[in-house]
Amino acid sequence: MTEIPEHLLKRAQEARDRAAAKGAETAAADAPAAAAPAEDVSPEAAAAASKIPPHLLERAKAARAKSASTAVESAAPAAAVATAGGAVATATAPPPTGPGGHTQRLLTVVKSGSIQDVKAMPVDKVHVWPHLLVVEFVAALAVTAFTLIFSIFVNAPLLELADFNATPNPSKAPWYFLGLQELLTMFHPMVAGVTLPGFALILLILAPYIDKNPSNKPEKRKFAISLMTVHLMFWTVLVMIGSFFRGPGFNFVFPWEAGLFFEL
């Protein structure tokens, strides 16, 4: 049930008290006139006794008659007509009432704060400029500075010129291609160089369209996290085998027995 404000309840109680007091005064004033015989009281005397001008009485009587005719006309379309057996039955709908049987306006029983939504809705989108691009620019500067400082303190000389008469054994690709070279020792070049890498790249490209969850929590992105983990672990294992467990002739060796055949 809708709660009625306290000030409206107090105002209604005061109005009922005034109406009751006025009704008691009117009844006390009309008591002597009612005790007298009806035929002995003229309209002028009744008007004088009630102290109401005659033109106001006529206006009130006309208003009551007009309101009664309006009520009859408005109730006529709402009547229910039953045609079975030629009988006609009418029913007048009861007037609408509010809480507790009182007819009140809607705004008098609804709190002003209950129809206002003041809570801010969370927004998970930001503008590309400046929010995203500023972060990417700062990250690029940090990586560039780290590379510059690393190149100052770490010596990375180039090897001697290649000699086609002396092929190094083992002949290894750079470390970031050793995983692909390891696949070439296990499968046909078409499978190792085209089919498997192409399938892995296509699966990584389709991952955002398969897993559309916008959350950045790992427990809610199980498909994406599992796919990337398998991809990284698979490629890392191949690179480590090609770097540390391949010796002369690209044969499998144990580094703690045959030595380490790996150069950056």
Q: Which two tokens stand for residue 184?
A: 């070439």
At 84 the pLDDT is 43
Are the beta carbons of 116 and 127 closer than 8 angstroms? no
At 86 the pLDDT is 44
At 75 the pLDDT is 56
At 211 the pLDDT is 86
Q: Tell me the angle at which helices 196-210 and 222-244 cross, rounded to the nearest 10 degrees.
A: 160
- Location of structure tokens 């008591």: 31
pTM above 0.85, yes or no: no
Number of residues that this document lists for the chain: 264
At 80 the pLDDT is 46
At 6 the pLDDT is 81
The fold of the 167-258 domain, in CATH, is Helix Hairpins (1.10.287)
Q: What is the DSSP string of 110-123?
A: S-GGGG---PPPP-
End-to-end CA gap in the chain: 79
Q: Tell me the angle at which helices 43-50 and 54-75 cross, rounded to the nearest 10 degrees.
A: 90
Q: What is the DSSP string of 26-74?
A: HHHHHHHHHHS-GGG--HHHHHHHHT--HHHHHHHHHHHHHHHHHHHHH
Radius of gyration of the chain (CA): 49
At 70, the amino acid letter reads: T
Q: Is 13 exposed, middle or buried (0-12, 13-18, 19+ CB in 10 A)?
A: exposed
At 233 the pLDDT is 93
Could you read off the pLDDT tens digit of each residue along the chain, which spans 264 residues? 567 778 888 888 888 898 888 888 777 766 655 554 444 445 555 555 556 777 777 888 888 888 877 766 665 555 444 444 444 444 455 555 655 666 655 555 555 555 555 566 666 677 788 888 999 999 999 999 999 999 898 887 777 888 888 888 888 888 888 999 999 988 999 999 999 999 989 988 888 888 888 888 888 888 888 888 999 999 999 999 999 999 888 899 999 988 888 876
Domain boundaries, the chain: 167-258
Helices (H), 84-193: 133-153, 178-184, 189-190
